[in-house]
Structure formats: C-alpha cells, structure tokens
C-alpha cells in the first residue's frame, strides 16, 4: 500500500471540502473493497477521507418511500423492519452478498462504488483498460467465466459485483450526492456506466462527488418480490447471475406492473426494461416469461467461458417470475 493521509470528515460538506482539488483522494466507507484494492495497488489514493460515520439514518416517509443514508451499514438495512416489510428483495439481495462480517462493515455508498472482480483487473501484470486506459483487455480471451454478457465492449467485459445495487435498480432507486457544485439526484440505474471506450470511468459521479443517500420510491408490489442469486458455491461467492424481480398482477392474472434487474451480467446493475415492457399488460404465463427473457437477452453475447450465463440468466429469470406469479395466486 502506498502511504496516504487519513482524514475523518465531520459532515458531508467537510468531506467535499477535504476532497476538493485532490484527484487522488478517495472516500472511505467500510473499506471492504477499497482497502483490498489498495493492498493490490489497484487503488493508490494519496488521501482517504473517512465518511463512515456520516449519513447514518434510514428515514421512512408515509408514502412508503425510504431514504437510506450512505453511511448505513449493509446489515442495518437488511435488519430494518421497514426494508424487510416494504422491500424484501432489497433485504434479500444484501443478505446474499459477502459474509456477515463484511455486511457489518460495508456501507451503502461503498457498496455502490465497489469495483469489478475481474481477475485481470486485479492482476498488475495483466493488460486492463480500467487500470491503464488503452492498455487492452486480457479478459476477453482469457478466463471470462464471471464476465459480462450484456452491454460489454471490446475494451472491457467486466461486471459490477454488487447484489444490493441489483435490487436498488429494480426499485427505481435514486442516488443523492453532494459536491463542490452542490447537491444533485440521479437514478441508480443511470449512475453506473457501460464500459464503451472508457471502462476506467465507471460512474457518472464527478471526482470529489460524495454519495449521501439512496432514495427508494414507494412500490406497493415490492412486497411480492424475489432476489435469487446463482453462484459457484452455496454461500460467500459473487453472483454468476442474479435476478431481482417484483410482480404486480391483477386478479385475472394480467401483469399490471413488473420490475426486473439482473446482476452479474453487465458492467452495471442491469435493469431489464425490455423484459418488463414485454410483460406489462400481458398474461403472466410461463410462455410470456420466456418471451420476456428472450427479449431481454436477445442482445446478450457470450465469450469463451461465460456463454452459459445467457441460458442461466434466461432460466433464472423465468423461474423467478413463475415463482412470483404462483405466490400471487390466492
């Protein structure tokens, strides 16, 4: 690890002040990803601004929405009764991630900002366009079992590893930030970028812009939701594919509304808008679920080791929707 200055921010404005003009500063949450990457020399910040103590509240509004402070620990969210009752898929997504210990350390802001698990991103001897723009990508022809099938580019096939963000994407969550230029709010689904030619630019956040909270708008049918994670061992592994879904059915079995997001398949939590559009207004049947999955995955492309993910995502999505539709039967 390179030596760095450590500063604890008193409040978000202080954090922004401390970061101002320091391009090699990083905000430090639980450290569960950043400290690991610093040890690997993938991240070499000169200043760490500790924001762990900031923004600790989960605020519920009567309309059913929630505002979760960026410093709230993952465990705290999953333990929160309002989250469990209103947005069970979020609690389940968080509980599927990492280990109990890591969930006790990891913050909401840090979870959103965590970086890919691509083997070549981690290995300083490999070519990686994230670490060194323009260097090339050794993953495309290397071990790419855990890599993207949607939205990848010739420059980068990495995936975003978060479980929590997949549920948040499905829930239309927004991200509140503060920076030297003021406060702003953007949709979580728009926060992370696809790699394109600039995979080193992973989010829309400007340098020094701090996440302060995540807002979840009301979603009455999120009570009928699922988060299903498929991985290489029973627990404590990153997703090969995950599905966050909520389904709202009318009494006659028509899809009134639906939310779907996929994890482990792209450079960002993947909101499955095509699948949602295919389902809305139609009958909830095995066949319509298949068509919806096909619609979403039509553009999916496999590499040497990860092509199975296309079929896995299709099957998992269909099974999740089928389960939700059965659960809804009275």
Q: What is the Cα–Cα distance from 226 to 243, expressed in whole angstroms? A: 8
* Interface of this chain with other proteins, residues 178 to 217, rule: CB under 8 A: none
Region of 90-98, 193-201, 202-210, 280-288 interacting with other proteins (CB under 8 A): 90-98
- Stretch in the footprint of other proteins (CB under 8 A) among 61-69, 91-99, 180-188, 276-284: 91-99
Q: How far is the CB of 29 from other proteins (least distance, A)?
A: 10
User: How far apart (Å, rounded) are the C-alpha atoms in residues 309 and 148?
Assistant: 9
Does residue 243 touch other proteins according to CB under 8 A? no
Strands 47-50 and 5-8: parallel
Q: What is the C-alpha separation between 310 and 326, in angstroms, rounded? A: 24
Rounded distance between C-alpha atoms, residue 177 and residue 58, angstroms: 16
Distance in angstroms (rounded) separating the CA atoms of residues 289 and 104: 36
79 lines the binding site for other proteins (CB under 8 A): yes
Footprint of other proteins on 262-321 (CB under 8 A): 308, 311-312, 315-316, 319
Residue from 282, 129, 270, 267 nearest 194 by CA = 267
For other proteins, the closer CB: 79 or 186 = 79
Judged by beta carbon, residue 80 or residue 202, the one nearer other proteins is 80
Strands (E) across 126-254 are located at 174-179, 182-187, 210-216, 225-231, 239-249
- Using CB under 8 A as the binding criterion, the count of chain residues that bind other proteins stands at 65
257 binds other proteins (CB under 8 A): no
Radius of gyration of the chain (CA): 19
- List, in order, residues 6 or more apart from 113 with CB less than 8 Å away: 27, 29, 33, 203, 211
Report whether 116 contacts 42 (CB < 8 A): no
Identify the three-state secondary structure at position 223: helix
Q: Using the rule CB under 8 A, is 4 a contact of other proteins? A: yes
Residue 232 makes contact with other proteins by CB under 8 A: yes
Does position 107 bind other proteins by CB under 8 A?
Answer: no
When asked if residue 85 is in the footprint of other proteins (CB under 8 A), the reply is yes
Contacts (CB under 8 A) with other proteins, residues 21-50:
28, 30-32, 35-36, 38-39, 41, 48, 50
Q: Which one of residues 236, 253, 287, 304 is an interface residue with other proteins (CB under 8 A)?
A: 236
Q: Assess 122 for contact with other proteins (CB under 8 A).
A: yes
Cβ atoms < 10 Å from Cβ of 172: 18
Q: Decide: 120 and 126 in contact? Cβ < 8 Å.
A: yes
Interacting residues toward other proteins by CB under 8 A: 1-6, 28, 30-32, 35-36, 38-39, 41, 48, 50, 52, 75, 78-79, 81, 84-85, 88, 91-92, 95-96, 98-102, 104-105, 117, 119-120, 122-126, 138, 141-143, 145, 229-230, 232-238, 240, 308, 311-312, 315-316, 319
């Amino acid at each position: 690890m390179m030596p760095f200055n450590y500063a604890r921010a008193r409040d978000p404005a202080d954090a922004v002040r401390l970061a101002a003009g320091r391009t090699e500063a990083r905000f430090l949450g639980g450290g569960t990803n950043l400290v690991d990457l610093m040890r690997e020399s993938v991240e070499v910040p000169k200043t760490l601004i500790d924001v762990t103590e900031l923004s600790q509240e989960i605020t519920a509004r009567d309309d059913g929405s929630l505002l979760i402070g960026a410093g709230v620990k993952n465990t705290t969210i999953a333990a929160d009764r309002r989250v469990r009752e209103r947005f069970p898929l979020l609690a389940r997504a968080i509980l599927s991630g990492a280990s109990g210990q890591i969930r006790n350390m990891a913050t909401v802001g840090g979870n959103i900002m965590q970086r890919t698990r691509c083997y070549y991103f981690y290995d300083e001897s490999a070519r990686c366009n994230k670490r060194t723009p323009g260097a090339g990508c050794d993953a495309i022809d290397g071990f790419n079992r855990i890599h993207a099938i949607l939205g990848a580019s010739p420059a980068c096939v990495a995936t975003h590893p978060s479980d929590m963000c997949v549920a948040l994407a499905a829930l239309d969550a927004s991200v509140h930030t503060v920076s030297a230029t003021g406060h702003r709010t953007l949709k979580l689904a728009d926060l992370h970028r696809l790699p394109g030619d600039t995979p080193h630019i992973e989010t829309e956040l400007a340098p020094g812009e701090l996440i302060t909270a995540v807002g979840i708008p009301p979603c009455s049918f999120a009570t009928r939701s699922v988060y299903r994670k498929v991985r290489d061992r029973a627990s404590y592994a990153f997703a090969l594919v995950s599905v966050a879904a909520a389904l709202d059915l009318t009494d006659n079995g028509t899809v009134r509304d639906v939310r779907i997001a996929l994890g482990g398949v792209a450079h960002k939590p993947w909101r499955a808008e095509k699948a949602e559009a295919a389902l809305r207004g139609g009958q909830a049947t095995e066949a319509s679920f298949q068509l919806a999955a096909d619609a979403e995955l039509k553009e999916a492309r496999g590499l040497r080791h990860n092509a199975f993910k296309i079929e896995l995502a299709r099957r998992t999505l269909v099974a999740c929707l089928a389960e939700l539709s059965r659960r809804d039967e009275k």
